[in-house]
Amino acid sequence: MGIEIRNVRVICTAPEGVNLVTVKIETNEPELYGVGCATFTHRYLAVVSVIEEYLRPFLIGKDPANIEDLWQSIMGMSYWRNGPVLNNALAGVDMALWDIKGKMAGMPLYQLFGGKCRSGIPCYTHAEGATVEQTLERVEALRERGYRKIRVQVGGYGGKNPNLHKPENPFPGAYFDPKAYMKNVLKLMEKLRMTYGDTLDFCHDSHERLSPIDAVNFAKELEQYNLLFLEDALPPEQVEWFRVIRQQTATPLAMGELFNNPHEWRTIVSERLIDYIRVHVSQIGGITPARKLVAFCDAYGVRTAWHGPVDMTPIGHAVNAHLDISSPNLGVQEWADSFTGLYPTLNGPLMQEMFPGMPESRDGYLYLNDRPGIGVDIDEELAKKYPCTESLVSWDWMLARLPDGTAVRP
């Protein structure tokens, strides 16, 4: 009898106060199993339900080597497809299958993708402060740690403006003033260039909070500061406006964090309207579609900059890194360095103990180990000590509102 899938399990854990979802696929060969990331923090129970109630019964008894066939079958078996819940569930399975294949071959995943294109993976991390001055301090601290590419934010997404002119009895939410936000970011960029010249690369995340015409003007104003890229200048529903931005400015553009569906990126890549594709790999269905996206983007001169937030397991971060190190069109990789103190600890002692083998960051580069497969495992007993709960899901920052109370995308 050949190798077949005997069980599919879901492991939920929140070691740093962020709900994480791991898939573990076990085979009839006792020591042969694979792990994958299926984290959709804000709807994690929905993902768990899909895996346990629908994907597990389908996968039991299947040959884990047939990754492409299993991926295509799962993508179509619900009929309606390409949504974040189903895609994250599928991604966890897909990554675990690739992990098994790498272990069967006795090779790290990147070797199955054709081998290394570089010895280290250039990465950027986040410098954010309540004020311009505080952000500058954090940029300097990261520079001293070896980072040469840094995402800079001031006052959080959309900025913080204590002088908002609100109506009576305002609805609850995270209010922001787009005009004040843009002015504050431009002030920050001016001071950064005065301080560092062109010795550092800076990027900035608008987080889709601007109206299309404001995004056009903002990108034009930022051109003088020679950014690495401006991220998510538009929401996915308004990507046609990238044509207008492209016609008026040479500011490099990154997009894709919220994409689920190839139709969302096909046109903006093929028309060369962006410079970096920034999808969340589990959001699009895992390694199998991500490899196809790499090749598609490479044909049009678009580079990768995979989404790398804290609400993602180290298994998912390692998958990003395997794609990065083997892709000729890698641009840069996002990495949430624990040193900033702004976010939960991605690479601290607890995460390293719970997910042994996770990538290491040194002097602005990421490095993988050479273990077979993805190279990261999960300590299930330790994971049990940090259970997921709905109370950890924070909605505040996602309830974005304009000064008059209008709800907008977060």
Angstrom distances, CA of residue 173 to CA of 300, 306, 397:
40, 29, 8
Report the Cα 30 to chain-centroid distance in Å. 33
Q: Report d(CA 375, CA 319) in Å as an integer.
A: 9
- Please check whether residue 237 lies inside any domain of the structure: yes
Q: Which CATH number goes with the domain that contains 243?
A: 3.20.20.120
Distances in Å between the Cα of 40 and the Cα atoms of 11, 204, 325 are 13, 24, 25
d(CA 67, CA 174): 43
Evaluate whether residue 53 is within a structural domain: no
List CB contacts of 381: < 8 A, sequence separation 6 or more. Answer: none
Q: Please list the active-site residues.
A: 157, 207
Q: How do residues 123-136 score in pLDDT, each as one tens digit?
A: 999 999 999 999 99
Q: Which pLDDT score, from 0 to 100, does residue 410 have? A: 84
CA distance 24 to 10: 6
Residue by residue, DSSP assigns 344-405 as --SSSHHHHHHSTT--EEETTEEE----SBT-----HHHHHTS---GGG---GGGSEE-TT-
pLDDT at 1 over 70: yes
Which residues form the domain of 196? 111-372
CA-CA distances (angstroms) from residue 233 to 26, 188, 210, 250, 274? 42, 18, 7, 14, 11
pLDDT at residue number 337: 82
Confidence of residue 389 (pLDDT cuts 50, 70, 90): confident
- Is residue 338 domain-resident? yes
Q: In the prediction, which pLDDT does 61 show?
A: 97
Q: Report how far apart, in Å, the C-alpha atoms of 16 and of each of 77, 197, 312, 350 are.
A: 35, 36, 11, 8
For the stretch 148-202, pLDDT in tens is: 999 999 988 888 777 889 999 999 988 999 999 999 999 999 999 999 999 999 9
Q: For 21-27, what is the mean pLDDT?
A: 98
Residue 182 is predicted with a pLDDT of 96
Mean pLDDT over 40-60 rounds to 96
Would you state the pLDDT for residue 280?
A: 98
Q: Model's pTM, two decimal places?
A: 0.96
* pLDDT for residue 392 is more than 70: no
Say how many domains are in the chain: 1
- What are the residue ranges of helices labelled H in 61-145? 67-77, 84-105, 109-112, 132-144
* Whole-number Å distance between alpha carbons of 186 and 366: 30
**Lookup: tokens for 34:** 């694979």
pLDDT cut 90: percent of the chain above it: 88
What's the pLDDT at 393?
67
Residue 187 CB partners (closer than 8 Å, separation 6+): 132
Does residue 266 sit within a domain? Answer: yes
Assigned token pair, 248: 């008026």
Contact in structure between 170 and 403 (CB atoms under 8 Å) = no
Residue 76: how many other CB atoms lie within 10 Å: 10
Tell whether 93 is covered by a domain: no
Task: Please give the mean pLDDT across all residues of the chain.
Answer: 94
The predicted structure's pLDDT at residue 86: 97
For every residue of 120-140, DSSP letters joined together read SEEEEEEEEESSHHHHHHHHH
CB 345 within 8 A of CB 351: yes
Total Cβ atoms within 10 A of residue 385: 11
Measured CA to CA, the distance from residue 312 to residue 326 in angstroms comes to 21
Cβ-Cβ contacts under 8 Å for 179 (sequence gap 6 or more) = 214
Residue 55 DSSP symbol: I
Position 313 pLDDT exceeds 60: yes
Tell me what pLDDT residue 338 has: 64
3-state class of 173 per DSSP?
coil
For residue 345, is pLDDT > 70?
Answer: no
Nearest in space to 18 (alpha carbons), one of 348, 365, 319, 260:
348
Helix (H/G/I), strand (E/B), else coil: 410:
coil
Q: Using the predicted structure, report yes or no on whether residue 341 has a pLDDT greater than 60.
A: no
Instruction: Quote the percentage of the chain above a pLDDT of 70.
Output: 97
Contact 317, 26 (CB under 8 A): no
Which residues, other chains included, contact 192 with Cβ-Cβ below 8 Å and sequence gap of 6+? 136, 139, 152, 200, 202, 225
Instruction: Report the C-alpha gap between 307 and 332 in whole angstroms.
Output: 10
Asked whether residue 260 is assigned to any structural domain, the reply reads yes
- In 91-190, at which residue ranges do the beta strands (DSSP E only) sit? 121-129, 149-154, 174-175
Residue 410 tokens read as 């977060």
Instruction: Specify the pLDDT at position 159.
Output: 81
Beta bridge partners of 253: 230
pLDDT of residue 379: 98
Residue 96 placed within a domain: no
Min mean pLDDT across 226-230, 275-279, 398-402 is at 398-402
Q: Is residue 25 part of a domain?
A: no
Strand bridging mode 121-129 / 365-367: antiparallel
- Rounded Cα distance between 56 and 142, Å, is 44
d(CA 250, CA 128): 25
